[in-house]
Amino acid sequence: MTTKREKFGGRMAVILAMAGSAIGLGNIWRFPYMVGEHGGAAFVIVYVVATLLISLPVFLAEVMIGRRSHTNSRDAFARLSRQHPFWKWAGYLTILIPTLIACYYSVIGGWSVEYFLKSCSLSFVRMSPEEASGFFGPFAASPWTPVIMHLIFLGITVAVVAGGVKSGIEKFSKISLPVLFVLILMILTYSVSLPGAGEGVRYLLHPDWNELTPRTFAYAMGQSFYSLSLGMGAIITYGSYVSKKENILTTSAGTAVSDLLFAILAGFAIMPAVFAAGIEPGAGPGLIFQSIPYVFAKMGAGMPVLSAAVSILFFLAIIVAAMTSCISLVEVGVSFLMERSRMSRGRACLILFLLCGGLGVLCSLSFGPLADAKVAGMTIFDLFDWTCSNILLLLMALLAVVFVGWILPRRVVHDEFTNGGRLAFNERLFPAVYFLIKWVAPIAVVVIFFTNFIL
């Protein structure tokens, strides 16, 4: 079946869709605990600089690959390299990576669905703080509920993707992103009003430069890559839906700034509440699913109605954030199947649901019945996460900037960045941007990789 390639409806649609891909669990779940583990305000400052000077050029490179090739992420490299064998096979990484991430990402999305339902039933308000904090362990180890929630979350995600680029992804992004920002602002307002929240605010505003280490820089850059969906094939795929008339510098910078803003808002929404409850800011990945319910239960003793309402809004925000990113992950595989196998969007979505759903079940069960099934000392969930985050994402991001900086002719990169020389401001910035893509970004990615493994 031959299908005409779809496009986003305009600049704002591009920014919202790409921001939807970027803004997700990386901001609202991962960023706050990374800040807590790596020096508070000092980490935030390094993160902002890394995003603007390193991640944004990588983002631009991936958009250029997608828009220039006007095809799925796997075929993009092959088409632009004139079917060079290496790049032809390297393109398969852009299909493998988002598919693997979607498998365990949807498990976390399923957790957020369960916590949202618990919040709606006022369960956390009725629990003691210790019970609320301890809910996660038995829930995650259950063989049924997390699996069902994972499949529900993935099913809704796939249904949005099945609607297509304009009717599904674009429409969902136009509604969900503004709602998400409103929700996080409401939570932030509640959080900073709590007794003792001032310490959390100071923690985010006053840097302790003694906390900075080479690993801090590496983790800040790694978090920026993860948050902006770099190395996943998602930005290449979305880039292929961008019109040739659009200014990719404007859309890319708009996406990066939106992502930065939301991450910082999430930090101010969560850290003050954590300090108000006397919880260690470096509590790790469990900061939200174990610590935040503790906060709501503790605060619920004096303000049960308000605490319950904020709890509902908080986990609704996590669901929306998780879904906007998971949509982009699923779309990569769907786009590939539609164009390579000539199948309908609906059938491609069904295949992705069955594949990611099945592997996701294994990831979910690794917290319970399959907890002892380990590879290299890691559970199935941890293996997927570690392999993608520490190896595959960095490898794919490196390949993208090397491809644009060293394989594509400079005139092609210039043509994409300046829309054929018609954008005067982009023309003036091109030498600096090209230098960042060709030299700075590849070196930074290699540094992140070796720092993760050596230090």
Name residues whose C-beta falls within 8 Å of residue 198's C-beta, 6 or more positions apart in sequence: 272
DSSP state letter for 454 = H
- Other beta carbons less than 10 A from residue 32's beta carbon: 26
Three-state SS string across 101-152, please? HHHHHHHHHHHHHHHHHHHHCCHHHHCCHHHHHHCHHHHHHCCCHHHHHHHH
For 50-88, write each residue's pLDDT tens digit: 999 999 999 999 999 999 999 999 999 999 998 888 998
Confidence class for position 284, pLDDT limits 50, 70, 90: low
Q: How many domains does the chain have?
A: 1
Name the residue range of residue 234's domain: 11-120+139-281+303-454
In a domain, 293, yes or no: no
Minimal CA–CA distance to 54: which of 436, 452, 447?
Answer: 436
In the numeric block, the tokens 């956390």 are attached to 124
In a domain, 436, yes or no: yes
- Other beta carbons less than 10 A from residue 49's beta carbon: 14
In a domain, 442, yes or no: yes
In a domain, 157, yes or no: yes
- Other beta carbons less than 10 A from residue 373's beta carbon: 12
In a domain, 1, yes or no: no
For 314-352, write each residue's pLDDT tens digit: 888 889 888 988 999 999 999 999 998 889 999 999 999
CA 158, CA 105: separation in Å to the nearest integer?
Answer: 13
In a domain, 128, yes or no: no
Q: What is the DSSP string of 170-232?
A: IHHHHHHHHHHHHHHHHHHHHHHTSTTTHHHHHHHHS--GGG--HHHHHHHHHHHHHHTTTTS
Tokens of residue 422, six digits? 């018609």
Highest mean pLDDT among 74-78, 146-150, 196-200, 277-281: 146-150
Confidence class for position 246, pLDDT limits 50, 70, 90: very high
In a domain, 394, yes or no: yes
CA 355, CA 258: separation in Å to the nearest integer?
Answer: 32
Residue 329 · residue 101 · CB < 8 Å: yes
CA 420, CA 439: separation in Å to the nearest integer?
Answer: 23
Q: Poorest-confidence range of 12-21, 80-89, 222-231? A: 12-21
DSSP state letter for 78 = H
Average confidence score pLDDT of the chain? 89
In a domain, 321, yes or no: yes
Amino acid at 269: A
Tokens of residue 152, six digits? 């529900």
Q: What is the DSSP string of 344-362?
A: -HHHHHHHHHHHHHHHHHH
Q: Specify the CATH number for the domain of residue 155.
A: 1.10.4160.10
Tokens of residue 455, six digits? 């230090």
Confidence class for position 2, pLDDT limits 50, 70, 90: very low
- Other beta carbons less than 10 A from residue 339's beta carbon: 18
Residue 318 · residue 98 · CB < 8 Å: no
